[in-house]
Amino acid sequence: MSLYGFQLLLSLDTLIEFYFKLIICITIPEEPGLIGPDNELYEKE
């Protein structure tokens, strides 16, 4: 049971980290340091 709880905590932590980065990318889209080369690739398309 504790192992299952640990895996649940681990996945929850990963989800929180994912959403945190997603929110940062949406909130500060003009930050060149966060976007980097991805922005150049997007502009080429």
pLDDT value of residue 5: 80
Q: What region does 16 belong to: left with phi over 0, alpha with psi -120 to 50, or beta?
A: alpha
pLDDT value of residue 10: 83
- The 3-state secondary structure of 11-45 reads HHHHHHHHHHHHHHHHHCCCCHHHHCHHHHHHHHC
* pTM, to two decimals: 0.41
Q: What is the pLDDT of residues 2-24, one digit of tens each?
A: 778 888 888 888 999 999 988 88
pLDDT value of residue 4: 80
pLDDT value of residue 26: 82
The answer to whether the beta carbons of residues 24 and 17 sit under 8 Å apart is no
- Domain parsing of the chain, residue ranges: 2-44
Q: What is the pLDDT of residues 22-34, one digit of tens each?
A: 888 888 766 555 5
